[in-house]
Amino acid sequence: MTPPAYAPRPRSALRSLHRWLPTPGVRIFSRPSYTPVRLTLREEVLTLEGALRSAHHQSWEGFLSLRLRGLWFAALLGLAAPLCAGQDPVPQKPPAESQAPRSQPPLPDQSASQDHSPSDQAPQQSESSSKDQSSSQDQAPEKQPPKNQTPANQTPQSRAAQVPQNQSLITLDSSETIFSVLAALNTCGYDQDLTISDATRSNVRAELQRNLRDSEEAEAARTALCEFYEGHVASKDANRNLSQYISLALYVDGPPHFLPRTKEEDLPPDASAIAGFGKLLETFYEKAGLHSIWERHRKDYAAAMNRYHEPLAKMVFDTEIYLKQPSSQYLGRRFTIYLDFMGSPNETDARNYGTDYYVVVFPAPNTPSGEAPRLALKMDQIRHTFLHYEMDPLAEKHYSSIKRLEPLLQSVKRAPLEESFKTDISLLVTECLVRAIEIRTTGGKQAAAEAMRAQAVDDAVKQGYILTKYFYDAVGAFEKDPEGIRGAYGDFLVNVDLRKEQKAAAEVQFASSTSQELVRLSRPEERRMLVTAEKRLAAGDPKGAQELAQQALDKKIGDQGRALFILAEVAVANKNRDGAQDNFQKAIAATQDPKVVGWSHVYLGRILDMKEDRAAALDEYRAALNAGGELPEVKAAAERGLQQAYEPPAKPQ
């Protein structure tokens, strides 16, 4: 019998292929409640793609044609030959409290309910992988989560979410925490794109309304929660306003308590401003019967994950083949996609917290034929975030080479970019490369498709991503070379002609506006910048505090009102009364934080008392009571101001 054309190659070929082909170390987990299906890649299967190796010496079109020959093999493997997919039913009994060390930042509960536990949230692992995981944890123990935050049977993290140090993890999931936060907001006027949302959203809203009508306590809980929501509007854009609540949902324990898992200063800036929402949500969750509603609709979420599993596996496979690099080489990293019906299907929320990447997708309804088109699935947005997941570690590794390109930041000062891209060359370089790869892999080889790609490159440059053209050409050469992206990345940076790119950027007529970058970045050191500034001020270092607060303002890091408040306090310390008054007024206008607003009014009242404008001072003290009356310190200071005019303390003799 004649052997097939894809007969296994010698083991020497296998060793060379292991250098870049996706490996079984990458797992996609999704957890609908039915019998698990496990696909395991055998070593021999790696040889099926052996022909692709030589194809990289040819054109990219040649690579694609060879790849098409093996598509049916990918189909046999569930379009996820390099992936191990597992799906477990929900166990009836939670296991004993035995947690693996939790990495930071934490995840929300993975489809948490009171009868769910870590063992219902991850595929059963083989004995060998379990040993690898335990040995990895023994070598690098991490800080255990506080015991008083999460009951034993309501752990906020599944084993699927706990990443062993020898494995990169890709997770497709739903979350009762995210569901609860968004369902609550839907009762408070969040109606964005309701008419084009999946029917599940309307059904959940109707069930909530019935529960609210039947319970005065539930309605009272809703009223308190909605007053908080209306008092913390971060943007006139409903979807931008929603984003801060998604950020909080990723950092709080699951039901029933919704408490932050970290200190408030360690929360992302947009989440720290609404940290008090969790306590109100706890009451609403209980009184409105949210858990029962979640349980009734779990099958809808399971069906949505079924729709996503195959295209997600294919996207990961295609991207890793193109980059010639497995994501599993970045150990201890997470890429998590959450699906939820309670938001606008026109929106996608993507975030990067350290080594963790999250994409929250609001699925659109299927077409009448029952299909879910690529645009409805938001696969382009998921892939954009996944490319960042792949590219960001390379930027960190080549810090010196990227820093050489910092003069290019001067070239984008006039561009309509977000401020972070104008001040951080690493962010700008990575975004240009990601966009170049996206454009390169769009369309076919027809002349019309190439013209569209050229136009897309030009549009990206005009928006301020000035290295997109350079990377587009560099990636074109990369496609024909056997070297993977990890090896080629350094050459990409070294080969940038700085003067040439500066000259080209000087000739660009930048657009008047740009689309907002999908992935929001939150770095731990930036989250603590304002906390550090306050500590420096308290330690008698107003200059250091001023520098940090001004930096936070310039880079738009954290609560801008809080930064202005620190600058005002610095002005008070420097006896600059007019500067302090100006910044306190700006702080009030820039924040919704009751503590900042309340104390700003108190300080303004004191400044006006010192200027002998008692009537205006009384107005400020009354405003302080209205804004921060629930805070004992603010209330006491405002009441003292109402009783008598402020007098500065006497200087010591």
Concatenating the DSSP letter of every residue in 66-92 gives HHHHTHHHHHHTTT-TT-EEE--PPPS
Tally of CA atoms within 13 A in the half-sphere of 71 that contains its CB: 7
| β strands within 354-395, DSSP E | 356-361
Residues of the chain with CATH 1.25.40.10: 528-643
At 594 the pLDDT is 83
Reported residue count of the chain is 653
576-582-586 Cα angle (round to 5): 140
CB 341 within 8 A of CB 353: no
At 515 the pLDDT is 73
CA distances from 448 to 113, 392, 451, 452 (A): 52, 32, 5, 6
CB 287 within 8 A of CB 215: yes
Q: Which two tokens stand for residue 351?
A: 């975030």
Give the whole-angstrom CA distance, residue 485 versus residue 321: 10
Q: Give the three-state DSSP class for 581.
A: helix
At 153 the pLDDT is 32
At 265 the pLDDT is 74
Which helix (H) or strand (E) is 352 found in, with range? strand 348-353
For helices 594-610 and 560-573, the axis angle rounded to 10 degrees is 30
What DSSP designation does 29 have?
Answer: E
CATH number of 528-643: 1.25.40.10
Nearest to 107 by CA among 362, 354, 382: 354
Residues with Cβ within 8 Å of 495's Cβ and at least 6 positions away in sequence, in order, are 474
CB 318 within 8 A of CB 64: no
At 629 the pLDDT is 64
At 442 the pLDDT is 87
Nearest to 389 by CA among 311, 319, 463, 468: 319
CB 248 within 8 A of CB 105: no
Which helix (H) or strand (E) is 283 found in, with range? helix 277-287
439-441-447 Cα angle (round to 5): 80
At 287 the pLDDT is 96
CB 510 within 8 A of CB 415: yes
Q: Which two tokens stand for residue 320?
A: 């890793």
At 145 the pLDDT is 37
At 496 the pLDDT is 96
Give the whole-angstrom CA distance, residue 594 versus residue 590: 12
At 554 the pLDDT is 81
Spans of the chain, pLDDT less than 50: 1-166
Interval 58-90: pLDDT, tens: 333 444 443 443 443 444 344 343 333 333 333
Which helix (H) or strand (E) is 338 found in, with range? strand 334-339
Nearest to 144 by CA among 261, 263, 279: 261
Give the whole-angstrom CA distance, residue 303 versus residue 182: 20
At 372 the pLDDT is 52
Q: Which two tokens stand for residue 490?
A: 């350094």
Residues with Cβ within 8 Å of 183's Cβ and at least 6 positions away in sequence, in order, are 204, 205, 208, 290, 293, 342
Nearest to 472 by CA among 12, 174, 76, 60: 60
